[in-house]
Amino acid sequence: MLWTNTLIPTLRTAPKDVEATSHQLMLRAGYIRQLSSGVYDYLPLGCRVIKKVESLIREEMFRAGADEVLLPAIHPAEIWKRTGRYEALGEDKFAFKNRSGQEYVLGPTHEEIITELVAASTKSYKDFPLTLFQIQTKFRDELRPRFGVIRSKEFIMKDAYSFDCDEAGLEKSFRKMAEAYRRIFTRSGLSYEVVEADPGLMGGKVSQEFMVRSPYGEDTIAHCKKCGYTVSRDIARRSFEAAEPKHGDKPYEAFDTPDLKSIEELCRRFKLKPEELVKTIIYIADGKPVAACVAGGHEVNEGKLRQLLGAEAIRLANAEEIEELTKAPLGFSGPVGLKGVTIVLDADILRMKNFYTGANEKDKHFRNVSVARDFNYDLVGDIRFVAAGDSCPSCKGRLELVTTMEIGHIFKLGTRYTKALNASFLDDKGMERDVIMGCYGIGVNRIIAAAIEEHHDDKGIIWPLSIAPYDVVIVTLNEQDAETRKVANDLYAKLGTLGIDVLYDNRDERAGVKFNDADLIGIPLQVVISERNLKERKLELVRRKGKEASFADIAQAPQIIQDKVKVSPQP
Amino acid sequence: MLWTNTLIPTLRTAPKDVEATSHQLMLRAGYIRQLSSGVYDYLPLGCRVIKKVESLIREEMFRAGADEVLLPAIHPAEIWKRTGRYEALGEDKFAFKNRSGQEYVLGPTHEEIITELVAASTKSYKDFPLTLFQIQTKFRDELRPRFGVIRSKEFIMKDAYSFDCDEAGLEKSFRKMAEAYRRIFTRSGLSYEVVEADPGLMGGKVSQEFMVRSPYGEDTIAHCKKCGYTVSRDIARRSFEAAEPKHGDKPYEAFDTPDLKSIEELCRRFKLKPEELVKTIIYIADGKPVAACVAGGHEVNEGKLRQLLGAEAIRLANAEEIEELTKAPLGFSGPVGLKGVTIVLDADILRMKNFYTGANEKDKHFRNVSVARDFNYDLVGDIRFVAAGDSCPSCKGRLELVTTMEIGHIFKLGTRYTKALNASFLDDKGMERDVIMGCYGIGVNRIIAAAIEEHHDDKGIIWPLSIAPYDVVIVTLNEQDAETRKVANDLYAKLGTLGIDVLYDNRDERAGVKFNDADLIGIPLQVVISERNLKERKLELVRRKGKEASFADIAQAPQIIQDKVKVSPQP
């Protein structure tokens, strides 16, 4: 492509209020432009990177035996209601009616749509295993779009869905996809981690997240440097020593705390540290009330609590229920004197004494409370989110917390969707059974942002060859010079016939501007054509990464360039 | 791809209530499935054809010097309001608000969005010419989706936009795109016609449509077999001889026509032929009333009327205006005695006498009316849509009307959008001027439907090689036979390494089922592997088109197949 035939509106300075490095660089280098909050135009360079990433993903999907489909973006709301996700998505979805009153959802994902397709198009165990994928635009009404394409309202996903006859089949399909994901991220030049995660809204029991470390991510992983334990913070556990409750030396007593409902307010007013307080949260687990107690400054992890209780479903109690159970409004709950409620303690609390709790009375708290002496409990265990410094559950090393960005997430869904949408098959004995499903998502735009976060310097982007918009940029120092133009045009044509993606900066601009732009847009190899070097029939080749320079004879240049931009063999 | 790894749910019979051949075949051959009215899933075969067509289009766009972008599907409604198209689109668009009250339009096309992008990203005449395209999903709330993917609510378009400094530049960009379009349609195996058309809602003065003849199209072209004149019926003209008005032999008189407001009702009630009546339609042209008279059975062509009047804007008069001007309700207008209204006659009327017209009085018409004798007129000319048998305007041969389907439409827009959205540039003298724009659209899904309409037989689809989902299908007659499987697998692998797209029907199904499916899905070359032929180390090669069969030695088969599926050189 000739620079003068395309649109690369580079900016000298970063726009204001743009936090993420990748967001800044994509704007400055003319890859994207914001159309409205969380919605972006992809300019030619941005579009080329998308196509490169898409084709790399497509290759790996085909290699893993998946085939491609293309499903619609506008879905009848009715099918989302059948799985209960219409409601579960709440305001995160875009939903609308058309002129004739038909209700639609703009697809945020496609489990429902593909399951219905497969249900209608298959009947026998012979039709499985089957894995289908698509690369398609998704829509979510993000409340707070941030960091450019990292968290946006319209984005491109590769979503794949596996369909199997049994759990063993799912296991095999899941492993194939996990392997494909590893290849995709490695080939994209990303340093990533695979962590066990919480399936959340998607459903199913097992999921794995593919994460890159990034200050602009919205996830956290717990990591142990000693043994390598790495898990999403949502489900990370900690080890703790069994302990006998410590008896306090002072009797507990009530004191006035008017309108002080939160740990923060209490600490500020009475100059306390959070670790001197115990927070009591009332839940309803399978219809029965539960008081979950954790040390101040920590948060109850509902998943862990549910597991410790062996409950099916758990939810926060509402204000009315709290008032009925504790005889006090929200903000003043505590374990002392609480009747008819299962009391569950986080293990931390067994090592605390003389702590503060709510008094189950409006505007009152207790001080000097101690476990066992002042109240009994039903269960004790690990029911809070892990914190930095917690003990690793596998080696007792110290856990650290790392902010990460999710670039892929794969799920063993089981029959969550196939049951609801009647996707069944006849097995080899003629019995009808539910299809077993998995789903597998990659954010195309996030791969791009993550690659920039990992590969840049203060001058701009440094693309990995595998997903660079162009392999080579030809930079002429004096476009007015006829000989320069001739050599540049010949090289441009020759590299094209060799299948190399070349951008030729044929602008009649100052060399400084052209060098800065070349560095900013990050094409891996720069070929500089100057009158001085042409006198010796030479070109200068500069690798964007490290700016390492060398010279090549004009005649041999195409071959040398081809060698330099060869993508290393696939992993 | 192995057939057992993909999803090709072929159907033995066509679903009910499916009219178009392409729609029937795409459903029967497992290419698409309806998700909801006018919204389709593309199954693996359908998706592959889309990708083939897209890459063919992409090649030709790049060849024409255009570069690719990717613009969002959700647009802020505000930008559509700025050009006045938010209202003009009416209920044909999908529009909605999100959780925070932001109004969106689901993009039916992208003139507004790209113009705003170019306005923000360019400033000097040096930034032009610039042509950008995208291949992207569009949304229109079709009132009556029909014929499968031919008229659907969600579809893929290649839309391109050119930006130039002057009319000469636009002319050049327009010609390049027209040439690219010709190559795209020719390479896709379509017989098409290029016709002058009416720009309509898009705006601008000149447009060309690319049409294929099809009973399932929604357009009509006028064609003269003698001289080749071919124009959209919307703007087709006819030649007519000047004539002196014919005086009638009987005086005109009023008669009762209670509640008979239409030509059809009058004809039925009084056993008249439409050509005995003159229809009078009241318009407001640049604020002034006009009565347009055409022979019964014909329709006024507003564009022609506007041109004959030399008016800027024209619209139908409303019921109140008609009542005020004619002193009679809608349905009883006529030229006799009409005051203060410009009377325009279609040329047909000069050759009529003793005709019927409205009497400008409720429930009354006149019979035996003649021109000049009974009323005066202001203008006469060609103001109706052409009909079959009309005289060709260029050679006076007979025009025929042909139903066609639009597969592409290109427009010289001028400054319609650039003015409204402030896309201007500084010329070489530092003067600010509006950018001159063109736009160019191709329906990807329609190319696919059109190709099937043109290339099929009673057994199924017959794909042109250029856009076939696979080049070759390997059909084994007995998948249980180990030697058959070995030869098939070797050939499958070998063809893959030669870059040939192969589908291997490895199902353990009866030969009849596999042959029928191969014919139905329409892959250009079938390679049949039977135990009988294997004894002579031979394979059978059958061209889908014409079912012409030949044999090849196993060893030479890959080379012979490669020769047979080579796409002929690009035009």
A527 vs A558: CA distance, rounded Å? 11
pLDDT band at residue B569 using 50, 70 and 90 as cut-offs: low
Taking the Cβ of residue B122 and every Cβ of chain A, the question of whether any pair is shorter than 8 Å is answered with: yes
Mean pLDDT confidence for A411-415:
95
pLDDT exceeds cutoff 70 at A445: yes
Phi-psi region of B499 (alpha: psi -120 to 50; beta: other; left: phi over 0): left
Which class for A436: exposed (0-12), middle (13-18), buried (19 or more C-beta within 10 A)?
Answer: buried
Strand runs labelled E in A435-524? 436-443, 456-457, 460-461, 472-476, 502-505
Distance CA B146, CA B152 (A): 7
Q: Tell me what the pLDDT averaged over chain A comes to.
A: 94
From the CA of B95, how many Å to the nearest CA of chain A?
8
- Name B457's bridge partners: B460
Contact B76 A47 (CB under 8 A): no
pLDDT, position A419: 95
Which one-letter DSSP state was computed for residue A312? S
A118 Cβ under 8 Å from any chain B Cβ: yes
Which among A40, A74, A131 is the nearest to B39, CB-wise?
A74
**B219, B409 Cβ separation under 8 angstroms:** no
Q: Is A21 helix (H, G, I), strand (E, B) or coil?
A: helix
Residue A286 has pLDDT above 80, yes or no: yes
Q: Does A55 touch chain B (CB under 8 A)?
A: no
Which region among A364-378, A470-484, B17-31, B186-200 has the lowest average model confidence (pLDDT)?
B186-200
Half-sphere exposure of B263 (CA within 13 A, CB side): 20
pLDDT, position B42: 98
CB A410 within 8 A of CB A107: no
Regarding beta strands A288-295 and B74-76, do their DSSP bridges make them parallel or antiparallel, or are they unpaired?
Answer: unpaired
Question: Which of A260, A257, A245, A305 is CA-nearest to residue A281?
Answer: A305
Q: Is B227 on the interface with A (CB under 8 A)?
A: no
Residue B394 has a pLDDT of 92
Q: Provide Rg for chain A, Cα atoms.
A: 29
Q: Do B35 and A120 touch (CB under 8 A)?
A: no
Cβ–Cβ below 8 Å for A130 and B7: yes
**What is the pTM for the complete model shown?**
0.90
At residue A238 the predicted structure's pLDDT band, cuts being 50, 70 and 90, is: very high
Residue B129 preceded by cis peptide, ω within 30: yes
The DSSP letter of residue B532 is H
**Residue B412 main-chain phi, psi, to 5 deg:** -90, 105
B554 touches chain A (CB under 8 A): no
Residue B198: what pLDDT?
Answer: 75
Between these two residues, A201 and B460, which has the higher pLDDT value? B460
Per-residue pLDDT tens digits for B81-136: 999 999 989 999 999 999 999 999 999 999 999 999 999 999 999 999 999 999 99
| Listed residue (A566, A562, A558) closest to A487, CA to CA | A558
Domains observed in chain A = 19-68+123-236+402-452 (3.30.930.10), 253-381 (3.90.960.10), 470-564 (3.40.50.800)
| H/E segment holding residue A135 | strand A130-139
Residue of A nearest to B11 (CA): A121
**What average pLDDT does the structure give for chain B?**
94
- Closest CA relative to residue A526, chosen from A482, A569, A565: A565
- pLDDT reported for residue B326: 94
CB atoms within 10 A of CB B490: 13
Kindly state whether B497 is in contact with chain A, defined as any CB-CB distance less than 8 angstroms: no
Q: Which of A38, A102, A120, A112 is nearest to A72 (CA)?
A: A112
Chain B interface test: which of A99, A118, A155 (most B C-beta within 10 Å): A99
Phi and psi torsions of B207, nearest 5° = -145, 155
User: What pLDDT, on the 0 to 100 scale, is given for residue B242?
Assistant: 80
Residue B571 has pLDDT above 90, yes or no: no
* Phi, psi dihedral angles at B86 (to 5 degrees): -60, -45
- What residue of A is the nearest CA neighbor of B5? A130
Chain B residues in contact with A4 (beta carbon < 8 A): 126
Q: How far is A99 from chain B (nearest CA, A)?
A: 6
Sorted by sequence, the CB contacts under 8 Å of residue A2 that are 6+ apart come out as A492, A504, A506
Band of residue B201 on the pLDDT scale cut at 50, 70, 90: low
CB–CB of A7 and B121 under 8 A?
A: yes
Q: Is the pLDDT of residue B41 over 90?
A: yes
Minimum distance, in Å, between the CA of residue B272 and any CA atom of chain A = 40
For residue B476, the cross-strand partners are B529
**What's residue A13's pLDDT?**
87
Q: Which two tokens stand for residue A423?
A: 């996707």
- Please check whether residue B191 is in contact with residue B213, taking contact to mean a CB–CB distance below 8 angstroms: yes
Average pLDDT over residues B463-473: 97
Percent of chain A with pLDDT over 90: 87
Residues B123, B425: Cα–Cα separation, whole Å = 5
Residue A65 confidence class, pLDDT cut points 50, 70, 90: very high
List CB contacts (< 8 A) between B69 and chain A.
Answer: 7, 41-44, 46-47
Provide mean pLDDT across the span A454-461: 97
pLDDT 10s digits, A534-563: 999 999 999 999 999 999 999 999 999 999
Residue with tokens 């891996």: A524
Q: Does A128 lie at the interface with B, CB-CB under 8 angstroms?
A: no
DSSP letter, residue B377: -
Q: Does A175 touch chain B (CB under 8 A)?
A: no
Q: How many CB pairs under 8 A join A and B?
A: 167
Tell me which residue of A464, A452, A353, A463 sits closest to A405, measured CA to CA: A452
Given CB atoms, is B30 within the 8 Å cutoff of chain A? yes
What pLDDT does residue B202 have?
Answer: 66
Whole-angstrom Cα distance, residue B90 to residue B143?
12
Q: State yes or no: pLDDT of B549 exceeds 80.
A: yes
Nearest to B141 among A44, A50, A99 (CB): A99
Q: Which residues contact A552 (CB under 8 A, 6 or more apart)?
A: A538, A539, A541, A560, A561
Quote the radius of gyration of chain B (alpha carbons, Å). 29
Q: Which of residues 133-162 of B touch A (CB under 8 A)?
A: 134, 137, 139, 141, 143, 153-154
- Contact at CB, A106 and B74, closer than 8 angstroms: yes
**List of chain A residues whose C-beta atoms are within 8 Å of the C-beta of residue B94:** 74, 96, 98, 104
Instruction: List, in order, residues 6 or more apart from A4 with CB less than 8 Å away.
Output: A506, A507, B126
A249 pLDDT above the threshold of 90: no
Question: Which tokens in the block code for residue B185?
Answer: 């349609």
Q: Is A116 on the interface with B (CB under 8 A)?
A: yes
B47/A134 touch (CB, cutoff 8 Å), yes or no: yes
Give residue-wise pLDDT tens across range A168-209. Answer: 999 999 999 999 999 999 999 999 999 988 777 666 778 999
Give the closest of A42, A126, A154 to B73, CB-based: A154
- B90 → chain A, closest CA residue: A99
| Residue carrying structure tokens 């006659």 | B345
Question: What angle is formed at CA A79 by the lines to CA A74 and CA A81, rounded to 5 degrees?
Answer: 115
pLDDT at site A571: 56
d(CA B102, CA B82): 16
Q: Does B35 touch chain A (CB under 8 A)?
A: yes
**Looking at chain A from residue 372 to 411, which residues have their Cβ under 8 Å from any Cβ of chain B?**
none
For B242-287, the pLDDT digits (tens) are: 888 777 788 999 999 998 888 888 999 999 999 999 999 999 999 9
Percentage, residues of chain B above pLDDT 70: 98
CB-CB under 8 Å, B36 with A76: yes
Picking from B5, B81, B136 by the largest number of A CB atoms within 10 A of its own CB, the best residue to mutate is B5
Residues of B in contact with A68 (CB under 8 A): 44, 47-48, 51
C-alpha B207/C-alpha B199 separation (Å) is 5
Q: What is the 3-state secondary structure (H, E, C) of A96-117?
A: EECCCCCEEEECCCCHHHHHHH
* Averaged pLDDT for residues A320-325: 94
Are the beta carbons of A94 and B96 separated by less than 8 Å? yes
> Which residues in chain A are contacts of B7 at CB distance < 8 A?
67, 69, 118, 121-122, 127, 130, 132
Structure tokens at B528: 């049949």
The answer to whether the Cβ–Cβ distance between B94 and A98 falls below 8 Å is yes
Which residues, in sequence order, are bridge partners of residue B343? Answer: B291
Instruction: Enumerate the residues of chain A whose CB falls inside 8 A of the CB of residue B137.
Output: 73, 137
Residue A159: its pLDDT value, please? 98
Residue B450 CA, distance from chain mean position: 10
Residues in A touching B96 (Cβ below 8 Å): 94-96
What is the per-residue pLDDT for B570? 61
Q: Look-up: residue for tokens 């391109």?
A: B160
| Res A151 pLDDT > 80 | yes
Cα separation, B408 vs B398, in Å, equals: 27
Q: What is the mean pLDDT of residues A91-99?
A: 94
Report chain B residues whose CB lies below 8 A from the CB of A91.
Answer: 99
Tell me the Ramachandran region of residue B291: left when phi exceeds 0, alpha when psi lies from -120 to 50, beta otherwise: beta
A49 touches chain B (CB under 8 A): no
Report yes or no: A130 at the B interface, CB cutoff 8 Å: yes
Look at residues B172, B49, B88 and name the one whose alpha carbon lies nearest to residue B501: B49
Whether residue B197 has pLDDT greater than 90? no
